[in-house]
Amino acid sequence: MRIISSSKEMQAYSAEEIRNGNTIGFIPTMGYLHEGHLALVKKSVSECNKSVMSIFVNPLQFGPNEDFDKYPRDIKRDTLLAKEAGVDVLFYPSADEIYPDDLPVKMTATSRTNVLCGAKRPGHFDGVVSVLTILFHLVQPNKAYFGQKDAQQVAVVKGLVDSFFFPLEIVTVDTVREVDGLAKSSRNVYLSENERNQAPLLYQALKAGKEALAHQSVSQTIEQMKATIGKSTSAEIDYIEILSYPELTKLAEKKGTIMIALAVQFKHARLIDNLIFMLEEEK
């Protein structure tokens, strides 16, 4: 596995692979890899000639009171995991390499951002679309791989790619879960033992919400989920929302592709999860 830290070297590598007729799969991450990330690598390896993973903790997508400095980092462990998973290139740039000067052009995500996590994280998705625009231009992938757990991010990124006609395909991979249903996350390490025992209830609440939505209203389903989580966990509910997907708008009617999403705050870990599914029109 080749490790690249220079933007120019990354561009040169991709240009050479493209000249050789190879397809490039891209897995953008912030590191501290877990099985969810490795599932993205597995998908890329199965579909593309070359797989490039980036590890970059992007400062632009962290707010002033968020956990940029505390975000878990372990590049030695990540390098080993990436190599074992079949990554061909690990792109590990510094912040100065990605943002060498004050950006003369600012990017703003104008839709799909004022709900869910975006509602309380102003500027977060501006940081996401900014760094991905840079990374997409450096890596020049044919396909880029994202996990469904970050469904709002996927919706925003699809909007970016469609709006600016990026010549690449966004591939969404199902959320990877623990045996008990908890979505894999780099932040799970911050859960106490008691919180870790409670956390699988989030996925259970999502599945129960999906079943309930078939025969009751959106508001009733949300209140039922809030009651379940509030009674059985110590977590503070940030939001529970039921929206169209990928538009992320309120449901005019209960049909089509729907997402039930939630976020909760344990003492030291904020967890998100979702279910995306098709719902037939009520008769």
Integer angstrom CA distances of residue 173 from 35, 38, 252: 12, 11, 28
Give the catalytic positions in this structure: 37
15-21: long-range pairs with CB below 8 Å, 24+: 15/140, 17/49, 17/50, 18/140
140-170 b/e with 16+ CB inside 10 Å = b?
Answer: bbbbbbbbbbbbbbbbbbebbbeeeebebeb
Phi, psi for 257 (deg, rounded to 5) = -85, 125
250 labeled part of a ligand binding site:
no
34 in a labelled binding site: yes
- Whether residue 32 is annotated as binding a ligand: the answer is yes
Cα separation values, 105 from 57, 234, 257, Å: 21, 43, 35
* Nearest residue to 128 via CA among 157, 100, 105: 157
| Conformation bin of residue 100: beta by default, left when phi > 0, alpha when psi is -120 to 50 | alpha
Tell whether residue 36 is among the known ligand binding residues.
yes
186 is in an annotated binding site: yes
- 281 labelled as ligand-binding? no
Ligand-binding site membership of 184 (annotated):
yes
> Is 185 labelled a binding residue?
yes
Residue 83 is assigned to a ligand binding site:
no
Q: Is 140 annotated as a binding residue?
A: no
| 147 marked among binding-site residues | yes
Say if residue 143 carries a ligand binding annotation. no
User: How far is Cα 20 from Cα 23, in angstroms, rounded to an integer?
Assistant: 9
Q: State the burial class of residue 70 (Cβ atoms within 10 Å of its Cβ: 0-12, 13-18, 19+).
A: exposed
**Binding site feature residues:** 30-37, 61, 147-150, 153, 176, 184-187
Binding site for beta-alanine: what residues are annotated? 61
Query: What are the binding residues for ATP?
Result: 30-37, 147-150, 176, 184-187
Annotated binding site for (R)-pantoate: 61, 153
